[in-house]
């Protein structure tokens, strides 16, 4: 049943936050602090999303339903309400000194800067769910350090420590922008890190080192997974690309004659266009796959009409089915390639460019070298070396190509003797 005005008025804070469902995706979110905010859930581009319309009683039940109706119309017309948000109040202006307005301006700046859709979705979700319910309607000069601590504690109570770290950065930026605009005098989020719970240290993705590769490659060669999944797995390995980039590869991006894959800046994590060479082994596999999926936009389309591309678990499942569950994952292939290439003396800059890593600081801003001829040679060597490992013929390639001491600390000559 839809909510009534009396039910909205009577909603009291509890030991845990909770929601009261209205209709058409609208619900009332009641925070532990007692702040009540209107949220709207909807589906857009095959993803579940939600936005906030503001807090009660500033936004009445009737007004929230009007905003819901507007948002539903936007969705029906192919417009994402999180990008073009319905106006919650005609009385708010750009000079409004509430945190909500400052956060809105900051978020729009992130949109204008071309941040990825997935990043913007995360920002929007945590703003609406955790930050705005506490700070949204407070005037910027009135917000205290204790208020910001309460925001941090919302994340920590559910052990979302990595998200808490990101949120601290967002808060600092929002207040810094407000200071620059003369809307407040100090940043109450500046010292949150001192009292924050420490996030767990990042661990590398499961990956394999050179001695483990022959058995893995032979098992992968005998994989019974469907062709689309197998080629996606090999493409991840032979290009050292992020699995997400592989999953969303488009036939229009591939030039099989030139052996190049060109990815636009909009799709890249670092927002910079990237070109990666395709070794001959991968070109052959892609040519075979084109006869199957070439009529689709994406190289690796999903099954049925609901999924544009293969799922994020497809590549890992290929590895799991050949006995490497928890030992090797798609992203781990990047660790494997980086380690092996560096161990065999390939130039660090060429390896880092292949991984689409950007240098820090000024060097990263000015170094736009693609090193494409060098990377073509490097990745063809890598594909050939993996073949040689698989066939037990790696010694000759080590003698021919490797330049430096290997992982055993032996010279090239002693390594050949060892093998």
Q: CA-CA distance, 85 to 105, in Å (whole number)?
A: 13
pLDDT at 88 over 60: no
Contact 34, 4 (CB under 8 A): no
pLDDT, mean of residues 229-237? 97
C-alpha torsion sign, points 348, 354, 357, 358: positive
pLDDT, mean of residues 239-258? 94
Enzyme catalytic residues: 242, 269, 331, 334, 357, 366
Q: CA-CA distance, 35 to 323, in Å (whole number)?
A: 51
Of the listed ranges 147-161, 209-223, 367-381, the one predicted with least confidence: 367-381
pLDDT, residue 80, reads 84
pLDDT, residue 114, reads 67
Of the listed ranges 210-219, 284-293, 388-397, the one predicted with least confidence: 388-397
For the chain, helix, strand, coil in percent to 5 are 50, 10, 40
Give me the architecture of the 5-195 domain, per CATH: 2-Layer Sandwich (3.30)
CA 38-56-80 angle, to 5 degrees, is 25
**DSSP-based three-state secondary structure for 144:** coil
Scanning the structure block, which residue is given the tokens 């002693």?
A: 414
pLDDT at 220 over 70: yes
Pick among 1.20.1260, 1.10.443, 3.40.50, 3.30.379: CATH of 210-418? 1.10.443
Confidence label for 362 from pLDDT (cuts 50, 70 and 90)? very low
Going from the C-alpha of 357 to that of each of 16, 145, 264, 270, 304, the distances in angstroms are: 42, 36, 15, 8, 35
Going from the C-alpha of 249 to that of each of 81, 178, 318, the distances in angstroms are: 27, 40, 18
pLDDT, mean of residues 207-220? 94
63-32-81-100 Cα dihedral, nearest 10 degrees = 80
pLDDT, residue 117, reads 67
Confidence label for 93 from pLDDT (cuts 50, 70 and 90)? very low
SS (H, E, C) 180-210: HCCCCCCCCCCCHHHHCCCCCCCCCCCCCCH
pLDDT, residue 180, reads 86
**8-49, pLDDT tens digit by residue?**
999 998 888 889 999 999 999 888 778 888 999 999 888 888
Domain boundaries, the chain: 5-195, 210-418
**120-177, pLDDT tens digit by residue?**
878 988 999 899 999 988 889 889 999 999 999 999 999 999 899 999 999 999 999 9
pLDDT at 386 over 80: yes
Q: Give the pTM.
A: 0.55
């Amino acid at each position: 049943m839809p909510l009534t005005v009396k039910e909205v008025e009577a909603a009291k804070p509890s030991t845990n936050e909770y929601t009261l469902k209205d209709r058409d995706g609208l619900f009332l979110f009641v925070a532990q602090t007692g702040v009540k905010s209107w949220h709207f859930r909807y589906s857009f581009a095959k993803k579940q999303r939600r936005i906030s319309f503001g807090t009660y009683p500033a936004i009445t039940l009737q007004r929230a339903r009007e905003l819901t109706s507007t948002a539903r119309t936007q969705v029906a017309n192919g417009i994402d309400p999180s990008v073009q948000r319905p106006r919650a109040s005609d009385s708010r202006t750009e000079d409004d000194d509430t945190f909500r307005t400052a956060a809105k301006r900051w978020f729009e700046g992130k949109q204008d800067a071309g941040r990825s859709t997935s990043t913007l979705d995360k920002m929007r979700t945590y703003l609406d769910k955790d930050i705005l319910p506490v700070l949204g309607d407070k005037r910027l000069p009135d917000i205290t350090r204790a208020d910001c601590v309460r925001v941090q504690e919302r994340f920590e109570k559910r052990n979302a420590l990595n998200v808490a770290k990101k949120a601290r950065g967002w808060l600092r930026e929002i207040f810094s922008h407000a200071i620059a605009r003369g809307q407040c005098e100090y940043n109450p989020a500046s010292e949150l890190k001192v009292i924050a719970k420490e996030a767990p240290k990042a661990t590398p993705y499961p990956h394999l080192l050179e001695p483990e590769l022959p058995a893995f490659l032979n098992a992968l060669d005998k994989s019974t997974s469907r062709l689309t999944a197998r080629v996606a797995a090999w493409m991840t390995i032979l290009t050292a690309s992020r699995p997400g980039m592989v999953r969303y590869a488009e036939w229009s991006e591939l030039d099989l004659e030139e052996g190049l894959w060109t990815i636009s800046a909009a799709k890249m994590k670092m927002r910079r266009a990237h070109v990666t060479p395709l070794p001959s082994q991968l070109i052959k596999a892609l040519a075979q796959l084109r006869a199957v999926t070439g009529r689709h936009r994406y190289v690796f389309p999903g099954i049925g009409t609901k999924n544009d591309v293969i799922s994020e678990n497809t590549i890992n499942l290929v590895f799991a089915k050949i006995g490497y569950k928890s030992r090797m994952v798609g992203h781990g292939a990047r660790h494997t390639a980086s380690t092996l290439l560096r161990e065999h003396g390939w130039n660090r800059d060429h390896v880092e460019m292949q991984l689409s890593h950007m240098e820090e600081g000024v060097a990263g801003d000015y170094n736009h070298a693609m090193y494409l001829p060098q990377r073509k040679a490097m990745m063809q060597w890598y594909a050939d070396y993996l073949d040689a490992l698989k066939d037990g013929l790696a010694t000759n390639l080590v003698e021919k190509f490797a330049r430096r001491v290997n992982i055993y600390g032996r010279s090239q000559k002693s390594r050949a003797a060892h093998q």
